[in-house]
Structure 1
Amino acid sequence: MSYRGIDAPELKMPYGKEARKELMKLIGGKSVTIYVYEQDQFGRYVGDIYCDNMFIQEQMLKCGHVHHFKKYDKRPEFENWQKEAKSTGLGLWASKKPPQKPWDWRRNKRYARHSAIQVY
């Protein structure tokens, strides 16, 4: 299952564990409602998630725990929520150094894995 319109830091990335912890505060052990919109290229369902009448993607963006995944979701409110968190330095935006986007991190990891040089 993928959350439509957002991408969280991977666990091995800076702020990855914190983002997971914050998500678990919102949904851990609770019933959620999922509105599935599609399947992605990897066969995962992609949807909007609600818990206790709260739109989870909105909450995660407003608190600065995730990135808006603009490539796959153009909803302007997502961009606005991210801008709010960024301008107030919340979550992953608290660092002086701009956070690496998860999709760039994954791409770099794949590239590094496939470009290893073997010396004999």
Structure 2
Amino acid sequence: MAFLLGVRTRKRLFVKYDPCGIVTPFVTVHRIPVALLCETTMLRKYFTLVLAVGLSLSTHAEQLSGYVVGITDGDTLTLLVDQQLHKIRVAGIDAPERHQPFGERSKQSLAKLAFNKNAIVDCAKKDRYKRDLCKVMVDGQDVGLKQIADGMAWWYRKYAHEQSRTDSVAYEQAEGMARRLQVGLWVDAKPAPPWDWRRTVRSRLDF
């Protein structure tokens, strides 16, 4: 809420709009109006906050380089980095679960792309299972994008906002092409997305 400031002179009271919304005497400090100092301080605090948020986000980003020593399923692998194992969830995709149609084939496809190979991963965060959520590159190839293009995974549209614009467009187009060509899991007329399949399994267990 903005306030009006009274500026008293010897004979008159002038009214001035305070852009900072803080009631302060309209005086000067080293000939600089207090209102201007207030506005400058607010701007400084704003940019400090923006910088802090940016640094906070950047601290979650991490690039790792290692050797793929395990494949869990079509979107999860194990990376050995400096004698430490990292469970990596490939970002931007969701592969069929192991007991779903194409679940085993999706796993084999990821193994063919990455197992026993060097990989570079860019990890933005950890998921709820404490796995590193990463874009995975092997031999200069985006593994997640390749899985989608081969019809071995869905583009995880729900988390498109966590991808770069370039990646989200490429993943969406790759899925559209795989669907039209009926590649991989798209040979089925209506393949069940893994997120729906998991929901169905959970509801049955709760029942």
**Bigger CA drift: 35-44 or 52-61?**
35-44
Name the one with the larger strand percent: 2
What is the aligned partner in structure 1 of residue 172 from structure 2? Answer: 79
Identity %: 27
| Residue segments in structure 2 that go unaligned for 5+ positions in a row | 1-87, 162-167
Per chain length, whose mean CA-contact separation is higher, i.e. which structure has more relative contact order (CA < 8 Å, sep 6+)?
Answer: 1
Query: For residues 149 and 172 of structure 2, what CA distance do their matches in structure 1 show?
Result: 10
Structure 1 letter corresponding to 2:200: N
The higher radius of gyration belongs to: 2
The aligned amino acid for 2:105 is E
Q: Aligned AA for 2:153? A: V
TM-score normalised per structure 2: 0.53
1:100 counterpart residue number:
192
Distance 2:171 2:104 in 1: 22
Match of 2:112 among 21, 25, 33: 25
**Which contiguous aligned blocks of 4+ residues in structure 1 show a shift greater than 2 angstroms?**
none
Residues matched between the structures, number: 114
CA deviation map 1:75-107 (0-9, x unaligned) = 122111100000011010012x21100011111
Q: What is the DSSP-based 3-state SS (H/G/I as helix, E as strand, rest coil) of the residue aligned with 2:108? A: helix
Please state if 1:40 is matched with 2:127: yes
Pick aligned residue for 2:102 from 15, 18, 25:
15
Instruction: Determine helix, strand or coil for the equivalent of 1:46.
Output: strand
Uncovered stretches (5+) of structure 1, i.e. residues with no partner: 116-120
Secondary structure of the 1:73 match is helix
TM-score, normalised via structure 1 length: 0.90
